[in-house]
Amino acid sequence: MSVTWSRLVLWITIILLITITLLYYQSAPYTVDPYSVEMSKMESLSAMRDALVLSSMIYTMILIIIGVMAWTMPLKRCLVKTFLSLPIGRSVFFIGNVFNIFLPPFIVFLVAHVFAGLYILSYVSVFDLLLLFPLILLNTLFIVSIVTLISLIVKDSIVSLFLASSIFLLPYQFPMQLKYINSCYFYTVTVAYIWHCVKHVSYSEAINLIAVTSLVTSIALILSFIYFLKMDVD
């Protein structure tokens, strides 16, 4: 297991680091070029927000793929059946698999952002930068919980991938409810973060977004957990 995951994590790390480095490159002239116009705090944060949004989309896609594959492929190949015929509890298996899905990409994504954020450390405090941790964690759990629920119910890789991608990445083709999920997702990190740094967004709006995201995450995880405990692994 460890061999398979370490290889996967290595690839994710490489992809994320390349992507995030490229995305942050757009803010680089302001911060490293001595002849460029000095970047204002607002411009710097705006660049960071853009980088966050763009890299979040790639991060989301990676999480969706890993999440869907981690649930549907073992179910399809009967691996879940094999493991659950050993003395492994269903709850342990579920929690282990959820951790397996979100922990490696989360750590890589967070570390990459913290390193990239060091470029603009003169504009934001260390505390501002550390605030990324709970927000990215919440965002990651939000995606993983929805993907887990979809994958467990649908059980088919292609359909699950399509559904999860639709919810997170193609929101404007869908009704308002799904659009709301998407806006929660993208703006939980960005809006809350920017609110904190520049007081641009109202306090209540940021808190609402975080509360809604937390609630949806909790409900989706609890439902997935109960469903997994009760489901027939046939």
Partner 1 sequence: MVKNIVEAKDLCKNFGKIRALDHLNAIFPKGICGLIGPNGSGKTTFIHILVGLVKPDSGKAYVLGHDSQKDSLKIRRRIGVLLEDESFPQNLSVYEYLRYVSKIKGYSIRKTIRICKEVGLYEYLDRKIKTLSAGMFKMLGLVQALIGDPELVILDEPTANLDPLKRKRLLNYIQRVHREKKVNFLISSHVLPELEEICNWAVFIYKGKAIDQGYLKDLYVKYSTGIYEIISDKPKVLAEYLKSFKSIDIVEEKDDVLRIKVKNYSELKNALSKALAEKSIQIISFRPLGGLREVFSRAVEKYSEVIN
Q: Report the nearest approach of partner 1 to the CB of residue 3 (Å).
A: 6
Tokens representing residue 12 in the block = 């994710």
Q: Are 193 and 52 in contact (CB under 8 A)?
A: yes
Query: Which residues 6+ apart lie within 8 Å of 52 measured at CB?
Result: 113, 189, 190, 193
Tell me which amino acid residue 59 is: Y
Residue (of 95, 140, 103, 75) closest to 5 by Cα position: 103
Of these, 41, 77, 179, 200, which contacts partner 1 (CB under 8 A)?
77
Q: Which is nearer to partner 1, 88 or 207 (CB)?
A: 88
CA distance 196 to 133: 14
With contacts defined by CB under 8 A, name the span among 14-22, 79-87, 100-108, 161-169 that binds partner 1.
Answer: 79-87
Q: How far is the CB of 76 from partner 1 (least distance, A)?
A: 9
The rounded distance, in Å, linking the Cα atoms of 145 and 119 is: 32
Min separation Cβ 78 and partner 1, Å: 4
Interface positions, 3-62, toward partner 1 (CB under 8 A): 3-4
Place of tokens 């998407």: 182
Round to whole Å and give the CA distance between 138 and 135.
Answer: 5
Binding range to partner 1, per CB under 8 A, among 74-82, 126-134, 182-190, 219-227: 74-82
CB of 80 to partner 1, least distance (A): 9
Among 38-46, 86-94, 159-167, 191-199, the segment contacting partner 1 (CB under 8 A): 86-94
One residue of 1, 32, 37, 176 binding partner 1 per CB under 8 A: 1
Is 82 one of the binding residues for partner 1 (CB under 8 A)?
A: yes
Spatial separation of the C-alpha atoms in residues 195 and 132, rounded to whole Å = 12
CB atoms within 10 A of CB 32: 9
**Residues in 150-189 at the binding interface with partner 1, rule: CB under 8 A:** none
- Is 218 a binding residue for partner 1 by CB under 8 A? The answer is no
Min CB(65)–partner 1 separation in Å: 18
Report which residue type is found at 86: L
Using the rule CB under 8 A, is 81 a contact of partner 1?
yes
**Token pair 């995201």: residue:** 213
Angle at CA of residue 137, ends 201 and 30, nearest 5°: 55
CA distance 58 to 37: 30
User: Which part of the chain contacts partner 1 (CB under 8 A), choosing from 83-91, 139-147, 162-170, 194-202?
Assistant: 83-91
| Shorter beta-carbon distance to partner 1: residue 2 or 177 | 2
Instruction: List residues binding partner 1 (CB under 8 A).
Output: 1, 3-4, 77-79, 81-82, 84-89, 230, 232-234
